[in-house]
Structure 1
Amino acid sequence: MQIENTAYSILDLALVSEGHTYKETYNNVLKLAQHAEKFGYERYWLAEHHNAPNIGSNATSILIGYVAEGTKTLRVGSGGIMLPNHSPLVVAEQFGTLSSLYPDRIDLGLGRAPGTDRETALAIRSDFMSAAHSFPNELEKLEMYFSKDNANAKMRVPVAETNKVPFYILGSSTDSAHLAAKKGLPYAFASHFATTHLWEALKIYRKGFNPSNNLEKPYIIAGVNIIVADTDEEAQRLFTSLIRLIVGIFTGKRDYVQPPTAMTEDLREILKHPQVHQMLKYSFVGSKTTVKAQVKEFLEQSKVDELIAVTNIYDINDRIKSYELFAEIMKELNSAN
């Protein structure tokens, strides 16, 4: 079966590797983005997370500006802004400003999860739970601030009214699929870690999609873990850093990205654990030949419009190489159509 041309992008959490400072981490974010631009990536999204020492993407809009300033054509955006953490007015001001500085290059991906634990969410915004439950209403407020029809309102964000910033609904469950379909917005599913509801969410979104001024037909982005190296063995070695990260999530002992080691029997056993296996279900690891076959199968099954790759590797040069090889894979798959 042939697959349609598929865009390919990057999702980055600005993970901090052991022995690296935040400054070095941010420098590496920009370095990777500059290479991604050369490799033909569509967009470079930065996530929002809080109260985790190994994640540097806390002030997402600031990092977006940093990456946009250091690149020329790459789309840069949020994957995503967790809207219940923020005032819609402030988000409109931030992204309206970013779009003024970098016209036609800024994306606004929006999610409803806190990107942290409950205590931190309440420290960020005391009415977080209420805002999370009213996510559709918060989204409408944001849309209003970006609308030219709001020009005569008492409460305005003029810098947003003059800029067209595309919205994307992010999700890891079926709730977000319903909302994205109803609003006629593009939908990005976090299948790089939330694998359970992928197929049902895609079905709901496609079946319920309501064409809008933003989008005529459904547009789906799927997150996948990608680690590509010269050989399967080398890719498996690089994969060990991600496995240890996942163990840290399940055990509550979040740590910096560890240097890779040889793949051991103990680590292979961890991969067989039901929770770990489910979480890493859409992780494509290996040589170009191996990963190309895995990606091709996933695209044929899912028929998504875009893949957004998450590559959690300790060393920036290994990361860049993996993303370069993945770009080659996507170009080869697209040219085969």
Structure 2
Amino acid sequence: METTHKNIPYSVLELATVAAGSKPADALENSLKLAQKAEELGYTRFWLAEHHNMVSIASSATSVLISYIAGGTQKIKIGSGGIMLPNHSPLIVAEQFGTLGSLFPGRIDLGLGRAPGTDQVTAHAIRSDRMQSVYKFPEEVSQIQKYFSADNKGAQVRATVAEGVEVPVYMLGSSTDSAHLAAKKGLPYAFASHFAPAQLMDALAIYRSNFQPSEYLQEPYTIACINVIAADTDEEAEKISTSMIRMMFGVLTGQIDYMQAPTEMTDELREVAAHPAFQSMLKYAFVGSKETVKKQTEDFLQSTGVNEIMVVSHVYHHEDRVNSYRIFSEIMQETKQ
């Protein structure tokens, strides 16, 4: 799909990854530092994920973390990437984000997904009737929108702190199912191509062709997420990426561990990275120097035609991660020229 690439917003998806030898508190502090730097570098939004029962990820209490990050920044939009709605009561979500929207006017996004963000045993521990909520996901999204409506004042059940508060809803997805729903509801659509790339193109096509304008959005708006590890040289980026390879290998094998320090790239790690199962998750992992990542990013933007690009970077050292986001910002600034 042809696009000029001009004025493409670029944003951050943050998981608050916990590095080996550190604590969740360290990861959360680094998340704030990264958000402050992202704001300085011109990133549009900074979204926090929701994951549970994973030692390597500290982004679990998403709404609490959003408040922390928003309170430490000035203008960058802070949001959920996302709230896994079947884990929660729609009323509570509306109250939490209505409160956030009142505290930080015009800066809060509510991204909603239906995946558990964890394993099935933990999902059951979070909410034993979760599967009922999964089936009712479209209705529960509508319920949240109703709680935010100023017209809900006459209802028996109200989220009074949310009524009339501006908190845009984004539909998140990793399959074509979410594309149909986002199109039907006329909501902006964010696709998790950073770990589920297989259906990206089909989902974008379905969303665009079936989009129905709504009071929230008149034209389709798409966001796609990619993995980026950028460094001063290809060799340095490759070494830094060994932490991501080990982390993702743990996810694939069910042996999730803290993020490990980078090592020299080995033949064994290259074999892991080239495995079809690994590639099926990390098709859109752009690793290399500024020139290398720029070419991959421009190809991605041209082939997808997305309105906005979101970046996640699994990097062990905070300084290396900040440098990666700095380089990517320069790439996106140059694509606007």
TM-score bracket for the superposition, by shorter chain length: over 0.9
Residue 281 of structure 1 pairs with residue 278 of structure 2: no
Q: Deviations over 1:14-35 (max 9, x none)?
A: 1100011111111100000000
Partner residue of 1:319 out of 318, 321, 330: 321
* Amino acid corresponding to residue 309 of structure 1 in structure 2: V
Q: Deviations over 1:92-132 (max 9, x none)?
A: 00000001110000000000001011111111111100101
Residue 63 of structure 1 pairs with residue 58 of structure 2: no
TM-score normalised per structure 2: 0.98
Residue 89 of structure 1 pairs with residue 86 of structure 2: no
Task: Look up the match of 2:179.
Answer: 177
Task: Look up the match of 1:139.
Answer: 141
Q: Give distance in 2, aligned partners of 1:3 and 1:107.
A: 24
- C-alpha displacement of 1:271: 1.3
Q: Give distance in 1, aligned partners of 2:221 and 2:177.
A: 17
> Does the 8 A contact of 2:12 with 2:311 survive in 1?
yes
Q: Give distance in 2, aligned partners of 1:4 and 1:178.
A: 28
Aligned residue pairs total 335
Task: Look up the match of 2:330.
Answer: 328
Equivalent residue runs for 1:46-57 within 5 Å? 46-57=48-59
Equivalent residue runs for 1:29-44 within 5 Å? 29-44=31-46
Task: Look up the match of 2:110.
Answer: 108
Q: Give distance in 2, aligned partners of 1:4 and 1:299.
A: 10
Equivalent residue runs for 1:218-233 within 5 Å? 218-233=220-235
> Does the 8 A contact of 2:190 with 2:223 survive in 1?
yes
Instruction: For residue 283 of structure 2, give the secondary structure of its aligned residue in structure 1.
Output: coil
Task: Look up the match of 2:299.
Answer: 297
- C-alpha displacement of 1:312: 0.5
Q: Give distance in 1, aligned partners of 2:119 and 2:256.
A: 13
* Amino acid corresponding to residue 208 of structure 1 in structure 2: N
* Amino acid corresponding to residue 285 of structure 1 in structure 2: V
> Does the 8 A contact of 2:86 with 2:137 survive in 1?
yes
- C-alpha displacement of 1:158: 1.1
Fraction of identical pairs, as percent: 58
Unmatched 5+ stretches in structure 2: none
Equivalent residue runs for 1:237-256 within 5 Å? 237-256=239-258
Unmatched 5+ stretches in structure 1: none
Q: Give distance in 1, aligned partners of 2:292 and 2:50.
A: 31
* Amino acid corresponding to residue 158 of structure 1 in structure 2: T
Q: Give distance in 2, aligned partners of 1:64 and 1:205.
A: 28
Residue 154 of structure 1 pairs with residue 173 of structure 2: no
- C-alpha displacement of 1:250: 1.2
Residue 26 of structure 1 pairs with residue 42 of structure 2: no
Q: Deviations over 1:21-61 (max 9, x none)?
A: 11111110000000000000000000000011111011000
- C-alpha displacement of 1:133: 1.1
- C-alpha displacement of 1:3: 2.5
Task: Look up the match of 1:168.
Answer: 170
Q: Give distance in 2, aligned partners of 1:334 and 1:135.
A: 38
Instruction: For residue 284 of structure 1, give the secondary structure of its aligned residue in structure 2.
Output: strand
Q: Give distance in 2, aligned partners of 1:272 and 1:287.
A: 20
Q: Give distance in 2, aligned partners of 1:323 and 1:272.
A: 25
- C-alpha displacement of 1:5: 2.1
> Does the 8 A contact of 2:227 with 2:312 survive in 1?
yes
**Structure 1 residue runs of 4+, over 4 Å off?**
none
- C-alpha displacement of 1:251: 1.2
Task: Look up the match of 1:11.
Answer: 13
Instruction: For residue 193 of structure 1, give the secondary structure of its aligned residue in structure 2.
Output: coil
Task: Look up the match of 1:126.
Answer: 128
* Amino acid corresponding to residue 149 of structure 2 in structure 1: S
* Amino acid corresponding to residue 291 of structure 2 in structure 1: T
Q: Give distance in 1, aligned partners of 2:201 and 2:218.
A: 22
